[in-house]
Structure 1
């Protein structure tokens, strides 16, 4: 179904680009292929984004925005936050593949996007506030805690079968929740 709604076309383009970049990375992605996935012309891609690199960055920013909005962090229950991140990774494995490509393609500059910096600062501030209230341990800095929580949440997303067989699928989520809660529990 054709539509003249540019916002709908842009959204379809971002979704198609996510799939294309997750499968091939920036270097291997082809504009004609992702345009076809989006149901638009390759020329129209360039009316939305200056180049393939700009589209790649836009996909990254959209992912950050969706995760921040879709998986709000409650610093008082970081175990459940980690579980929701894990659930999101299971529901959208292409996002983790895209992020892996993004890290490979962008290297040191990958974490320096304004979208990421703002989201991380807000989360670190929330953890620091929970630490001040004594809800979260102060054995680690707020930044260290956030990094540990996010890595535990995603630890099974990009692993091979040998690693995945170590813990049955039905217990992975509860393992994450328990591990995070123990990690961040204040000393007694």
Structure 2
């Protein structure tokens, strides 16, 4: 069913772009394929975004926004936060794949993007406050702690092959929780 609702079309466009970029990166993605997936004309894409790169950035910003909203950090419970991130990546495997392409395509700029920098800054501040309260170990700086938590939370989704297959899927979440607990306790 066709709709003239621009917000619905924008949502469909972003969902289609996420799929296309996750498969092909920005360089390999094609506007005509994104339009076809979204069920819109290729020309309509340009009424929302200037070019393919700006659409790529919009998809990234949406992922950051949705992740912050659906898996908010609780610095006093970092093992559960890591489990939430692990669960989200498992429920939406296209997202970690997109983020891998994003880091490959954007390099250092990926961490300086305003949406990412703001989200990371808030998380580091939350961890610093938890360290002051004594609920998180001060063994590592807040930024180091965050980097470790994120790495552990996403480790099963950022690699493939035998190392992942050696651990049954049912045990992966428990491993994330236990590892982050050990990293963040005194």
TM-score range (shorter-chain normalised) is over 0.9
Q: Does 1:34 align with 2:34?
A: yes
- After superposition, the C-alpha distances for 1:69-110 in whole angstroms (9 at most, x for unaligned) are 010111111000000000011011100010000011111111
Question: Residue in 1 aligned with 2:174?
Answer: 174
Question: Residue in 2 aligned with 1:101?
Answer: 101
CA distance in 2, matches of 1:99, 1:180: 22
Question: Residue in 2 aligned with 1:87?
Answer: 87
Question: Residue in 1 aligned with 2:185?
Answer: 185
CA distance in 2, matches of 1:164, 1:106: 26
CA distance in 1, matches of 2:165, 2:24: 27
CA distance in 1, matches of 2:155, 2:49: 33
Question: Residue in 1 aligned with 2:146?
Answer: 146
Unaligned runs of 5+ in 2: none
- Number of aligned residue pairs: give it: 186
- Shift in Å, 1:166: 2.3
CA distance in 2, matches of 1:161, 1:35: 33
CA distance in 1, matches of 2:7, 2:30: 22
Q: CA RMSD in A?
A: 0.7
- Shift in Å, 1:161: 2.4
CA distance in 2, matches of 1:47, 1:26: 19
Q: Does 1:126 align with 2:126?
A: yes
> Please, what TM-score do these two structures have when normalized by structure 1?
0.97
> Please, what TM-score do these two structures have when normalized by structure 2?
0.98
Question: Residue in 2 aligned with 1:74?
Answer: 74
Question: Residue in 2 aligned with 1:20?
Answer: 20
Question: Residue in 2 aligned with 1:116?
Answer: 116
- Shift in Å, 1:142: 0.3
Q: Does 1:9 align with 2:9?
A: yes
- Shift in Å, 1:169: 1.1
